[in-house]
């Protein structure tokens, strides 16, 4: 029973996506494809993480902060970690 309900929900979601895309295309608007559906290229997938890699820590942007300040904080952390190659 749960599998049937899940399949029905998947069909409904797909129908909604299709209708939304058709409506946007009908108005001449571009339909953007979500990034999460696109795989990374092989070069990224096969890249090795350095042994002493430290992930930078920046609080996630939640929409209430100043976007410029948020990006500055990220860029500063990237610079400090040696990740900014110009």
Task: Write the CB contacts of 24 (distance below 8 Å, at least 6 apart in sequence).
Answer: 30, 31
Going by the DSSP 8-state scheme, the letter that residue 58 receives in this structure is -
Residue with more model confidence, 30 or 83: 83
How many whole angstroms separate alpha carbon 38 and alpha carbon 60?
A: 22
8-66 residue pLDDT tens: 988 998 998 888 888 877 777 665 555 555 666 777 777 888 888 778 888 888 989 89
Q: What is the pTM of this model?
A: 0.39
pLDDT the model gives residue 67: 92
């Amino acid at each position: 029973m749960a599998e049937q309900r899940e399949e029905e929900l998947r069909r409904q979601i797909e129908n909604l996506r299709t209708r939304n895309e058709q409506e946007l295309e009908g108005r001449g608007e571009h339909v953007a494809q979500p990034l999460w559906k696109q795989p990374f290229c092989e070069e990224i997938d096969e890249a090795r993480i350095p042994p002493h890699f430290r992930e930078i820590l920046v609080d996630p942007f939640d929409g209430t902060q100043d976007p410029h300040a948020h990006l500055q904080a990220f860029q500063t952390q990237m610079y400090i970690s040696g990740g900014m190659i110009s």
